[in-house]
Chains A and B, each alone.
Chain A
Amino acid sequence: MNDKFAESIFHRRHVVCGIRLHPFTFAHAAALDFAGSPYASLTGAATLDDVVFALAVCRAPGAFPIQLPKVGFFKTRIIAKAVYRAGLSEAHAALMAYFDDYNCPPDMWQQKGSRAVRVPWPLYFVACLIRNGRMTQKQAWETEVGYGRWMCAALAEAGGNEIAVISDAEREAMKEAGYG
């Protein structure tokens, strides 16, 4: 089995700064994206506010309709205290491990003529799951991100499209060629 697909199926329990996080779904991703969180794109350095907001989002079930957590000094001070105690960089690293665990899409070769998606990325995959996977809106938004992205690729391939997922043999060859 492809390692990344296995990663998208099997998860460990994530507790960050004493806060247990729920499985990361497209609803979580949309909430982070809506708030402009750097964790939505998994890029950039995160501030204390970013870490607190991400923890506030992901400690709740990623359910549809999407709800943003109430933030502010009095609403999130317990989370902020926990992050402060654990240390910002440790909390950030633990959050990244959580996102890496749940958001592990298939690696794809960049296809010629491919274009960037213009709608928010969680919405794009949710639309794929609804259109091709015949899911309801609720089911699609509550799908775990990595698994949902693999499902979109599989549905596209099952529909007769050529999907340029990097194969296990290609991954082995890439390792041998010095690409980790």
Chain B
Amino acid sequence: MVMSQIGSEVVQQGAPKFANYVVVAGTWKEKDTTDMQRTDDGDSEVYNYSFWKAGVDATCDLIIKADQSRLAKGSVLSESSPGTRAFVVIDVETSDFGGMPLKQSVTLAYHNDFTPTVVT
């Protein structure tokens, strides 16, 4: 972490790896959704900004590894590397090949310091 940065960075370059799914190269796109507001009075030479709800929205195409189950809306997808982020599946569309569901185009959401729990 660089000294001029507050907190840990949530935006990482490159696609993460998932244990049971392979990210199709070139499809990983993410956007930092951290909220930000300027908090000084606007009349000073000191600029203050507040950041909160650090998070990432991402989209990508995933190939489901053999014998693994499909993701559904609300599923939790845990990163195996480079970090340990747990994404929530916001939207998913499945494509079949040879009669088998193989590819899923997913929209994911991650927020720093939250632990997604699936409750049925």
Nearest-neighbour CB distance to chain B for A108, whole angstroms, equals 8
- Report the Cα distance A164→B99, complex, angstroms: 15
Judge whether B65 and A177 touch: CB under 8 Å: yes
Query: Cβ of B48: which chain A residues have Cβ within 8 Å of it?
Result: none
Judge whether B66 and A170 touch: CB under 8 Å: no
Judge whether B103 and A109 touch: CB under 8 Å: yes
Query: Which of these, B25, B64, B96, contacts A109 with CB under 8 Å?
Result: B96
Judge whether A173 and B66 touch: CB under 8 Å: no
Query: Does A43 interact with chain B (Cβ within 8 Å)?
Result: no
Query: Which of these, A111, A164, A172, A177, contacts B66 with CB under 8 Å?
Result: A177
* Contact residues on A (Cβ < 8 Å of other chain), bracket: 10 to 19
Query: Cβ of A107: which chain B residues have Cβ within 8 Å of it?
Result: 97
Query: Cβ of A170: which chain B residues have Cβ within 8 Å of it?
Result: 24, 61, 63, 103
Nearest-neighbour CB distance to chain A for B23, whole angstroms, equals 7
With A109-B103, A178-B66 as contacts: A173 and B97 at CB distance below 8 Å? no
- Report the Cα distance A90→B39, complex, angstroms: 80
Judge whether B22 and A110 touch: CB under 8 Å: no
- Report the Cα distance A163→B61, complex, angstroms: 16
Tell me the A residues contacting B by CB distance below 8 Å.
Answer: 107-111, 164, 166-167, 169-170, 172-174, 176-179
Tell me the B residues contacting A by CB distance below 8 Å.
Answer: 21-27, 61, 63-66, 95-97, 99, 102-103
Closest 9 pairs between A and B when the two form their complex, measured CB to CB: A178-B66, A109-B95, A110-B96, A169-B25, A173-B63, A177-B63, A173-B22, A177-B65, A173-B24
